[in-house]
Homo-oligomer: A and B are copies of this chain.
Amino acid sequence: MDGSTVKASEHHKIRADLLISGDFVLTFNEGKEVLEKGAVAVTGDRIVAVGETSRLAEEIEAKEELDACGCLLMPGLINLHTHAAMTCFRGLADDLPLQEWLHEHIFPAEATYVSEDNVYWATLLAVVEMIKSGTTTFCDGYFYEDGAARAVAASGIRAVLGQGVVDFPAPGIPDPRINLKAAEAFVFRWQGKSPRLMPSIFCHSPYTCSPETLIGAKDICREHEILFQIHLAETRTELEETQQRYGHRPVHHLANLGLLDAQTICHHAVMVNDEEIELLAHSGVGVSHNPESNMKLASGVAPLPKMLAAGVKVGLGTDGCASNNNLDIFQEMDTAAKLHKVHQGDPALSSALQVAAMATNGGAAALGMSPRLGSLEPGKKADLIVIDLNQPHLTPMYEPCSHLVYAARGADVRDVIIDGSIVMRERQLLDVDEQEVMAKVREIAEGIRTKQ
């Protein structure tokens, strides 16, 4: 091949902003293809090519190259359920009966210490923790959610942010009669402000929101084409109370109110029977599975294998830091894979691939964002993570997905790219001052501690 040919072929090279090449690329595309010695090319906020490194290096001319030799590339993880600002209550009260935990510790602390500024700092701490453990999108619900929105805008992460709604006085909304107005105002303030930020409304539960409140909230969501979120069928107490008050189990109660559709996410779905699983599947709602929180609060074990078999769109969540107590989706994957095996007495249930797919494809589907998120494919948003495989606990390597679920941990994430931008490189966050955020949350905690 002479010089002119090389020149000519170089002229035909596709330009890209960033080319990342690693030992393995877990695409999580429909065929769950795994490429050895693969690469991903990014332009702007999108993936433009995925393929063998040797081919992409020939075809693509990138402004910047990220060498992930010895690493695995995969889509960023999706944390489908959390209350990010609750990082400031991490470890405040553990190992207590549920009612004592809620009424004597969490609610009083929230009543006193939840302010927009505290929500900003505590959410920013959560964002730092999530990015450092490979989460690139999270779905949140809390009060003073403007604080969370400012944290998301500042940090580079992607999020669905649900302003909390309950029928009693809440942080920031002392008069519950205006809870829906406040939620709608939040949606107005943030919709369309950033491609990384999707406002939402989070009705706390069927036992803290009246049917009127639930219907009103869903109407606002329909009008603005945003997601409606709710805690549903989390505990036996909720199941029994809902049956007593409304004559129906929680999922049926919501179905009767016309709230179950593809723009609704139900969190937990622990207390659901076969008929309800069918309802969840056919209505197209998203469901978050939060095994560590359900275990710690002794809520129960959600029928995950049945939900997956029925085709329910299930993603994984950590829940808030007060009931977990970290936001590491790697640990959640490991627990989800193991819990259902022992619960059903079948070691073939909840395979590593199924669980990893929940943390990527499943979360994206539940959010209604499958066309944009959850896999490494041309045209999708460039949200991806680099996992360092050159570590004792990831050696040797027979099957990448097995390592992802059963051996890896959040600390193994080396680099994180969200919306086409590198937000963490070699475990250093580029846009957030980690030490400042920790110092601010320690200050908030000092106040909480002295009042306990």
Query: A296 touches which one: B341, B438, B442 (CB < 8 A)?
Result: B341
Instruction: Flag whether A298 is at the interface (Cβ < 8 A).
Output: yes
Q: Is the CB of B351 within 8 A of A395?
A: no
From A87, A334, A344, residue with most partner B Cβ within 10 Å? A334
Q: Is the CB of B445 within 8 A of A399?
A: no
Binds B, one of A190-198, A260-268, A321-329: A321-329
Give the nearest-CB partner of A406 in chain B: B325
Given that A91-B398, A396-B88, A442-B395 are contacting pairs, would A296 and B406 also be in contact in the complex, using a CB cutoff of 8 Å?
Answer: yes
- Stoichiometry, copies per complex: 2
Instruction: Flag whether A295 is at the interface (Cβ < 8 A).
Output: yes
Once bound together, how far apart are the Cα atoms of A341 and B346, in whole Å? 21
From A296, A338, A442, residue with most partner B Cβ within 10 Å? A338
Once bound together, how far apart are the Cα atoms of A411 and B408, in whole Å? 11
Q: Which residues of chain B are within 8 angstroms of A342 by Cβ–Cβ distance?
A: 294-296, 298-301
Once bound together, how far apart are the Cα atoms of A443 and B59, in whole Å? 34
Q: Is the CB of A298 within 8 A of B395?
A: no
Q: Is the CB of A395 within 8 A of B96?
A: no
Instruction: Flag whether A223 is at the interface (Cβ < 8 A).
Output: no
Q: Is the CB of B326 within 8 A of A90?
A: no
Q: Which residues of chain B are within 8 angstroms of A391 by Cβ–Cβ distance?
A: 438
Measured CB to CB, the closest approach of chain B to A140, in angstroms, equals 17
Q: Which residues of chain B are within 8 angstroms of A406 by Cβ–Cβ distance?
A: 91, 94, 296, 324-326
Instruction: Flag whether A348 is at the interface (Cβ < 8 A).
Output: yes
Give the nearest-CB partner of A353 in chain B: B95
Give the nearest-CB partner of A402 in chain B: B91
Query: A396 touches which one: B398, B403, B444 (CB < 8 A)?
Result: B444
Q: Is the CB of B91 within 8 A of A397?
A: yes
Instruction: Flag whether A347 is at the interface (Cβ < 8 A).
Output: yes
Q: Is the CB of A91 within 8 A of B407?
A: yes
Q: Which residues of chain B are within 8 angstroms of A300 by Cβ–Cβ distance?
A: 342, 345
Given that A96-B347, A348-B97, A392-B437 are contacting pairs, would A403 and B91 also be in contact in the complex, using a CB cutoff of 8 Å?
Answer: yes
Once bound together, how far apart are the Cα atoms of A125 and B392, in whole Å? 6
Query: A409 touches which one: B95, B399, B411, B452 (CB < 8 A)?
Result: B411
Instruction: Flag whether A128 is at the interface (Cβ < 8 A).
Output: yes
Q: How many of A's residues come within 8 Å of B, CB to CB?
A: 74
From residue 94 to 120 of chain A, which have CB atoms closer than 8 A to chain B?
Answer: 94-98, 101
Q: Is the CB of A396 within 8 A of B133?
A: no
Given that A95-B351, A326-B407, A335-B335 are contacting pairs, would A298 and B345 also be in contact in the complex, using a CB cutoff of 8 Å?
Answer: yes
Instruction: Flag whether A428 is at the interface (Cβ < 8 A).
Output: no
Once bound together, how far apart are the Cα atoms of A129 and B412, in whole Å? 13
Once bound together, how far apart are the Cα atoms of A291 and B94, in whole Å? 20
Q: Which residues of chain B are within 8 angstroms of A128 by Cβ–Cβ distance?
A: 392
Binary flags per residue of A391-423, CB closer than 8 Å to B gives 1, else 0: 111011111001100110111100000000000
Give the nearest-CB partner of A442 in chain B: B396
Measured CB to CB, the closest approach of chain B to A424, in angstroms, equals 12
Give the nearest-CB partner of A432 in chain B: B392
Q: Which residues of chain B are within 8 angstroms of A325 by Cβ–Cβ distance?
A: 402-403, 406-407
Give the nearest-CB partner of A341 in chain B: B298
Instruction: Flag whether A245 is at the interface (Cβ < 8 A).
Output: no
Q: Is the CB of A132 within 8 A of B334?
A: no
New A-B pairs, 9, CB < 8 Å, besides A91-B402, A92-B398, A295-B341: A91-B399, A94-B399, A95-B349, A129-B393, A296-B338, A297-B341, A326-B407, A331-B334, A335-B335
**Which 9 A-B pairs have CB atoms at the shortest separation, nearest pair first?**
A396-B445, A411-B411, A295-B338, A91-B402, A325-B406, A295-B342, A298-B347, A129-B392, A95-B351
